[in-house]
Structures are given as structure tokens and as C-alpha cells.
């Protein structure tokens, strides 16, 4: 079958345990572009086995310190204007691959395509959670899509006003790691999000707005989760409470850091990365 005339991009750093399944799911793309951070665990060997094009994430090897900058680099290096990005622990199902092919063959630059990410926890597919369904734009034409600046973590694309967002059928599955590993990852992300020096005390309006928003989210998530548990009869398809509470904890951590920034101003010390 003819290759999908698009570039699939991926970021890796010591992901040998998961990357093979991700690579297998995008093998039909004309180009698989991987930006690696200097892996030493066999990741590079797997990338070469699947014929991926390997580039450096940056001049400094190691964990990513600015996700937006690396994503932008992937857009600049891609062979095709159509770009689909996938994480090294995700994989697309067959239905989604068919949809991606159709979108590339028949879409235009004024279209962007959203896919549903489905978590897998302890081997169980999770369909219901306070933040599910999780639909995110993943296929774009770089002529009309741009990475939002000044976000080192939780990066996202902004689209030109003319672009229509279209939902694709199929799923992209994400086997989740242990809760402890995600808590360590959340701590790292929080450190990146608040790593920029505070040159002046944030305004009271901005501080209060952020605190109210994140406090509301932290409180709302357990309420919705409880509703879903009852509605679906305590099904194994509902996200386990410990994983759901992880998100509320993260929002509360943001509240804490926003408050510290306002109180300490230029003396603010960000959380350790």
C-alpha cells in the first residue's frame, strides 16, 4: 500500500520499553521523524530498525526542558507539510490510521484533525473519567498551525482563524505507567511550568483568576468522578480514584505556586525540577 504522504513526529529519551509499539502504528507514514534526547537504553536501535529519521532534540542531551521549542523544531525539520505527532508511549488503532490517510489525501491546509486519546491502566481500557473523553488536535498542516510560544510544558498548537477542526474516528491508546511514576512526572512538569524567573510581582487580578480557576477544577473533578462511578455501576472502564485524584493534586499545586509567586515576588523560588 502507498505510504501516507505526511510526517509522523515523535520525541524520545530512553523509551525502549514503549517506543516499538508507537513506531509500528505509524509505519505507513512516508516519514517518521524522531527527535531524541540522547537515549542510551536501546531506543536508538529500535528507531533505526523501523527506518525512522533521527535528529537531536537540542544541543544539550537529556530530559526536555522546553517542549514547545522541541515541537517547533520537529515542524521545521519535517519533510511534509502535513504533520501528525504521537508520543513514544502512544499508538494509533487501525480505524484511526484509515482516517488519517483519508484526511491527508483529501484535506486542505484549512483543516486540522482531532483524535481521541484513550488511557489504559493495569491492562484495562478506561472510557470514563472526569477529563474524558480526551480529544486533542494531532494532525495539522504546518502552513496554518503554529506552536504557542512561552510554554515550556503542556505545549499546544494555535490554528489560523480560517482553520476548521474535524474529529476523526478511531483511537490513540496510551498505556499509563505506575501512579508513582506519574507523580514524579507531574512534579517535573510543575517545575518547568514555573521555572521562569519572576521579575515583578504578578498582578492581583491575574493571581486571583488563576487561583479560582484551578481551585474550581480541583474541586469539580472528584464530584464528576463520583457521578461517573455511580452512573456506570462502578465499572472497570471508569478511571481508578487514585489516578483521578492525581489531577486534582496537580491543580492544587498550581494554586500553591501562584500564591507563592504573588507573596514573594522576585524572591519566589520555583519547585525543584
Mean pLDDT of the chain: 95
Residue 153 clears pLDDT 90, i.e. is over it: no
Residue 157, H or E segment:
strand 157-159
- Residue 174 binned pLDDT confidence (cut-offs 50, 70, 90): very high
Architecture per CATH, domain 4-175, reads as: Alpha-Beta Complex (3.90)
Residue 150 clears pLDDT 80, i.e. is over it: no
CB 172 within 8 A of CB 115: yes
Q: What is the pLDDT of residues 4-47, one digit of tens each?
A: 999 999 999 999 999 999 999 999 999 999 999 999 999 999 99
pLDDT for residue 149: 85
- Residue 1 binned pLDDT confidence (cut-offs 50, 70, 90): confident
pLDDT for residue 154: 87
Residue 273 clears pLDDT 80, i.e. is over it: no
DSSP string, 34-96: EEES---SSHHHHHHHTT-EEEESSSS-SS-S-HHHHHHHHHHH-SSSEEEE--TT-EE-HHH
For a pLDDT cut of 90, what percent of the chain falls above it?
92
Residue 70 clears pLDDT 80, i.e. is over it: yes
pLDDT for residue 260: 97
CB 127 within 8 A of CB 118: yes
- Residue 272 binned pLDDT confidence (cut-offs 50, 70, 90): confident
255, three cell numbers:
494554586
Report d(CA 84, CA 7) in Å as an integer. Answer: 6
Residue ranges of domains in the chain: 4-175, 179-267
Mean pLDDT of 226-239: 96
Mean pLDDT of 227-240: 96
Amino acid at each position: 500500500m502507498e505510504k501516507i504522504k505526511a510526517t509522523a513526529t515523535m520525541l524520545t529519551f530512553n523509551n525502549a520499553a514503549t517506543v516499538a509499539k508507537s513506531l509500528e502504528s505509524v509505519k505507513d507514514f512516508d516519514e517518521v521523524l524522531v527527535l531524541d534526547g540522547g537515549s542510551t537504553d536501546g531506543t536508538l536501535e529500535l528507531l533505526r530498525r523501523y527506518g525512522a529519521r533521527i535528529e537531536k532534540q537540542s544541543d544539550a542531551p537529556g530530559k526536555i526542558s522546553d517542549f514547545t521549542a522541541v515541537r517547533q523544531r520537529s515542524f521545521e525539520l519535517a519533510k511534509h507539510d502535513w504533520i501528525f505527532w504521537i508520543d513514544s508511549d502512544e499508538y494509533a488503532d487501525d480505524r484511526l490510521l484509515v482516517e488519517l490517510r483519508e484526511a491527508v489525501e483529501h484535506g486542505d491546509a484549512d483543516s486540522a484533525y482531532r483524535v481521541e486519546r484513550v488511557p489504559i491502566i493495569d491492562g484495562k481500557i478506561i472510557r470514563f473519567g472526569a477529563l474524558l473523553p480526551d480529544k486533542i488536535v494531532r494532525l495539522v498542516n504546518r502552513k496554518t498551525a503554529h506552536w504557542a510560544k512561552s510554554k515550556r510544558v503542556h505545549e499546544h498548537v494555535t490554528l489560523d482563524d480560517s482553520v476548521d477542526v474535524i474529529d476523526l474516528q478511531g483511537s490513540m491508546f496510551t498505556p499509563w505507567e505506575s501512579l508513582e511514576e506519574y507523580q514524579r512526572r507531574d512534579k517535573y512538569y510543575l517545575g518547568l511550568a514555573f521555572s521562569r524567573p519572576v521579575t515583578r510581582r504578578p498582578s492581583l487580578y491575574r493571581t486571583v483568576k488563576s487561583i479560582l480557576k484551578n481551585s474550581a477544577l480541583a474541586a469539580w473533578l472528584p464530584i464528576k468522578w463520583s457521578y461517573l462511578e455511580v452512573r456506570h455501576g462502578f465499572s472497570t472502564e471508569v478511571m481508578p480514584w487514585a489516578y483521578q485524584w492525581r489531577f486534582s493534586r496537580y491543580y492544587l499545586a498550581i494554586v500553591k505556586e501562584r500564591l507563592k509567586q504573588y507573596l514573594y515576588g522576585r524572591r519566589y523560588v520555583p519547585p525543584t525540577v
